[in-house]
Amino acid sequence: MKTNAARLLDSLGIEYQVLSYAVDLDDLVAISTAQKLGLPTDQVFKTLVVNGYSQGIAFAVVPGSYRLNLKALAQLSGDRKLETVPLKQVQPLTGYVRGGVTALASKKPYPVFLDEWAEVYEQIAVSAGMRGQMLWLRTADYVKATNAVVGAIAQETLS
Protein backbone atom coordinates (compact mmCIF):
# COMPACT_ATOMS: atom_id res chain seq x y z
CA MET A 1 0.00 0.00 0.00
CA LYS A 2 1.46 3.33 -1.09
CA THR A 3 1.29 6.12 1.48
CA ASN A 4 0.64 9.82 0.87
CA ALA A 5 4.28 10.47 1.74
CA ALA A 6 5.40 8.08 -1.02
CA ARG A 7 2.95 9.65 -3.46
CA LEU A 8 4.40 13.07 -2.67
CA LEU A 9 7.91 11.83 -3.42
CA ASP A 10 6.63 10.28 -6.67
CA SER A 11 5.09 13.60 -7.70
CA LEU A 12 8.43 15.34 -7.07
CA GLY A 13 10.36 12.73 -9.05
CA ILE A 14 12.34 11.71 -5.97
CA GLU A 15 13.66 8.16 -5.80
CA TYR A 16 13.16 6.17 -2.61
CA GLN A 17 12.79 2.66 -1.28
CA VAL A 18 10.10 1.46 1.11
CA LEU A 19 11.52 -0.43 4.07
CA SER A 20 9.04 -2.60 5.98
CA TYR A 21 9.31 -3.91 9.51
CA ALA A 22 7.15 -5.73 12.07
CA VAL A 23 5.20 -3.38 14.31
CA ASP A 24 5.09 -3.85 18.06
CA LEU A 25 2.56 -1.39 19.49
CA ASP A 26 4.31 -1.60 22.87
CA ASP A 27 7.64 -0.58 21.33
CA LEU A 28 7.33 2.18 18.72
CA VAL A 29 10.68 3.85 19.43
CA ALA A 30 13.04 4.65 16.57
CA ILE A 31 15.88 2.65 18.11
CA SER A 32 13.80 -0.55 17.83
CA THR A 33 12.83 0.33 14.27
CA ALA A 34 16.49 0.79 13.35
CA GLN A 35 17.37 -2.58 14.87
CA LYS A 36 14.57 -4.30 12.94
CA LEU A 37 15.82 -2.71 9.71
CA GLY A 38 19.48 -3.44 10.43
CA LEU A 39 20.40 0.25 10.21
CA PRO A 40 22.46 2.46 12.53
CA THR A 41 20.14 4.13 15.04
CA ASP A 42 21.38 7.56 14.05
CA GLN A 43 20.47 6.95 10.40
CA VAL A 44 16.81 6.29 11.22
CA PHE A 45 15.09 9.59 11.97
CA LYS A 46 12.05 10.22 14.14
CA THR A 47 9.64 13.07 13.49
CA LEU A 48 8.30 15.00 16.45
CA VAL A 49 5.56 17.61 16.45
CA VAL A 50 6.27 20.81 18.36
CA ASN A 51 4.37 23.99 19.09
CA GLY A 52 6.12 27.34 19.29
CA TYR A 53 4.76 30.28 21.20
CA SER A 54 5.14 32.64 18.24
CA GLN A 55 5.74 30.39 15.21
CA GLY A 56 3.10 27.71 15.87
CA ILE A 57 3.24 24.03 14.85
CA ALA A 58 6.38 22.57 13.27
CA PHE A 59 8.12 19.23 12.74
CA ALA A 60 11.45 18.43 14.38
CA VAL A 61 13.30 15.53 12.76
CA VAL A 62 16.12 13.99 14.81
CA PRO A 63 18.17 10.78 14.77
CA GLY A 64 16.48 7.86 16.50
CA SER A 65 19.21 7.53 19.13
CA TYR A 66 19.08 11.21 20.09
CA ARG A 67 16.53 13.44 21.77
CA LEU A 68 15.24 16.82 20.72
CA ASN A 69 16.93 19.86 22.26
CA LEU A 70 14.03 22.31 22.55
CA LYS A 71 16.30 25.28 23.34
CA ALA A 72 18.40 24.65 20.22
CA LEU A 73 15.24 24.27 18.13
CA ALA A 74 13.87 27.53 19.53
CA GLN A 75 17.07 29.30 18.52
CA LEU A 76 17.06 27.77 15.02
CA SER A 77 13.36 28.44 14.45
CA GLY A 78 13.43 31.97 15.80
CA ASP A 79 10.81 31.12 18.40
CA ARG A 80 11.39 32.08 22.02
CA LYS A 81 10.02 28.82 23.41
CA LEU A 82 8.70 25.51 22.08
CA GLU A 83 7.19 22.39 23.55
CA THR A 84 6.32 19.01 22.15
CA VAL A 85 2.67 18.61 21.25
CA PRO A 86 0.65 16.25 23.48
CA LEU A 87 0.16 12.86 21.80
CA LYS A 88 -3.63 13.27 21.60
CA GLN A 89 -3.14 16.36 19.38
CA VAL A 90 -0.66 14.79 16.93
CA GLN A 91 -3.18 12.99 14.70
CA PRO A 92 -5.66 15.90 14.43
CA LEU A 93 -2.79 18.25 13.51
CA THR A 94 -0.86 16.01 11.12
CA GLY A 95 -3.15 13.18 10.03
CA TYR A 96 -0.59 10.68 11.34
CA VAL A 97 -0.51 8.40 14.40
CA ARG A 98 2.37 7.82 16.82
CA GLY A 99 4.92 5.57 15.17
CA GLY A 100 3.88 6.82 11.72
CA VAL A 101 4.43 10.58 11.89
CA THR A 102 6.25 12.11 8.93
CA ALA A 103 6.81 15.64 7.67
CA LEU A 104 5.98 14.43 4.16
CA ALA A 105 2.39 15.02 3.00
CA SER A 106 1.12 16.14 6.38
CA LYS A 107 -2.42 17.44 6.76
CA LYS A 108 -0.94 20.98 6.64
CA PRO A 109 2.47 22.13 5.40
CA TYR A 110 4.17 22.91 8.70
CA PRO A 111 7.80 24.10 8.85
CA VAL A 112 10.36 21.29 9.12
CA PHE A 113 13.59 21.41 11.12
CA LEU A 114 16.07 18.61 10.48
CA ASP A 115 19.03 17.87 12.71
CA GLU A 116 22.36 18.42 10.99
CA TRP A 117 23.38 14.83 11.81
CA ALA A 118 21.38 13.81 8.72
CA GLU A 119 24.04 15.40 6.53
CA VAL A 120 26.58 12.83 7.77
CA TYR A 121 24.74 10.26 5.66
CA GLU A 122 23.97 10.26 1.96
CA GLN A 123 20.68 8.48 2.76
CA ILE A 124 18.38 8.42 5.77
CA ALA A 125 15.23 6.54 6.77
CA VAL A 126 12.11 8.48 7.74
CA SER A 127 8.57 7.34 8.41
CA ALA A 128 6.48 6.61 5.34
CA GLY A 129 3.39 7.88 7.16
CA MET A 130 2.26 4.61 8.65
CA ARG A 131 3.52 2.19 11.24
CA GLY A 132 5.66 -0.56 9.76
CA GLN A 133 7.01 1.42 6.81
CA MET A 134 10.00 3.70 6.45
CA LEU A 135 11.22 5.58 3.40
CA TRP A 136 14.90 5.26 2.48
CA LEU A 137 15.97 8.30 0.46
CA ARG A 138 18.81 10.68 -0.17
CA THR A 139 19.17 13.25 2.59
CA ALA A 140 19.32 16.08 0.05
CA ASP A 141 16.05 14.86 -1.49
CA TYR A 142 14.37 14.81 1.92
CA VAL A 143 15.50 18.38 2.57
CA LYS A 144 14.17 19.39 -0.84
CA ALA A 145 10.82 17.59 -0.40
CA THR A 146 10.18 19.08 3.04
CA ASN A 147 11.92 22.44 2.56
CA ALA A 148 13.67 21.62 5.83
CA VAL A 149 15.88 24.01 7.73
CA VAL A 150 18.96 22.07 8.83
CA GLY A 151 20.69 22.77 12.14
CA ALA A 152 21.87 21.36 15.45
CA ILE A 153 18.62 20.46 17.27
CA ALA A 154 19.43 17.02 18.74
CA GLN A 155 21.39 15.95 21.77
CA GLU A 156 22.61 12.56 22.84
CA THR A 157 20.46 10.68 25.30
CA LEU A 158 21.97 9.86 28.65
CA SER A 159 22.68 6.19 29.20
pLDDT tens-digit series, residues 85-140:
999 999 999 999 999 999 999 999 999 999 999 999 999 999 999 999 999 999 99
Number of helices followed by number of strands (H, E) in the chain: 5, 10
Q: Where are the domains of the chain?
A: 4-156
- Residue percentage of the chain with pLDDT more than 70: 99
What architecture is the 4-156 domain classified under in CATH? Alpha-Beta Complex (3.90)
Residue 147 scores a pLDDT above 70: yes
Residue 156 scores a pLDDT above 90: no
Residue 158 scores a pLDDT above 90: no
